[in-house]
Amino acid sequence: MSELESTVPDDTIRVLIVDDEPGVADVLDERVTRFGHQMAVAHNGIQAIRAVREFAPHVVLLDIRMPGLDGHTVLDHLRGSSQPPTIIIVSGNHEEDEARELLQRGAFDYVTKPVDFGYLKQAITAAAGVAPPET
């Protein structure tokens, strides 16, 4: 899927995937699209910030370990916006201290890789109900 390409109609939950590993982003995109959500993909922090402005996602699935603007920086930037999307961290890092810190800084949930897609589906639905952005 090309950057910011939508996959389903506008009346669904909009989800932005942010992961610098194309294979991981593709798997997340494929699986989450099956949930019936409208998808966009960004492969770095700069693309993510631009995609949030252009795509106005309800939920962002955000990787932490990325070159350039890492997930910590992107989280802080997005949380500081006037209408922040709800952010779910999706990370290969299983450190409880980091998960706790990110949740305290405003992440809605912390999901570890490999992803339990049943849990992720529930987390996205719950996150979208928190405070979807105005469109």
> Model confidence at 105, in pLDDT bands (50, 70, 90)?
very high
Per-domain boundaries in the chain: 14-128
Name the strand (E) or helix (H) holding 59: strand 59-62
**Is it the case that residue 3 has pLDDT exceeding 60?**
no
> Model confidence at 2, in pLDDT bands (50, 70, 90)?
very low
Region 50-73: what's the mean pLDDT? 95
**Is it the case that residue 128 has pLDDT exceeding 60?**
yes
Adjacency order of strands within the sheet including 109-112: 38-42, 14-18, 59-62, 86-91, 109-112
Phi then psi dihedrals of residue 68, to 5 deg: 75, -125
Domain 14-128 has CATH 3.40.50.300: no
Q: Supply the pLDDT for residue 8.
A: 38
> Model confidence at 94, in pLDDT bands (50, 70, 90)?
confident
5-19, 21-35, 58-72, 120-134: segment of lowest average pLDDT: 5-19
Region 66-75: what's the mean pLDDT? 94
Rounded to two decimals, the pTM is 0.87
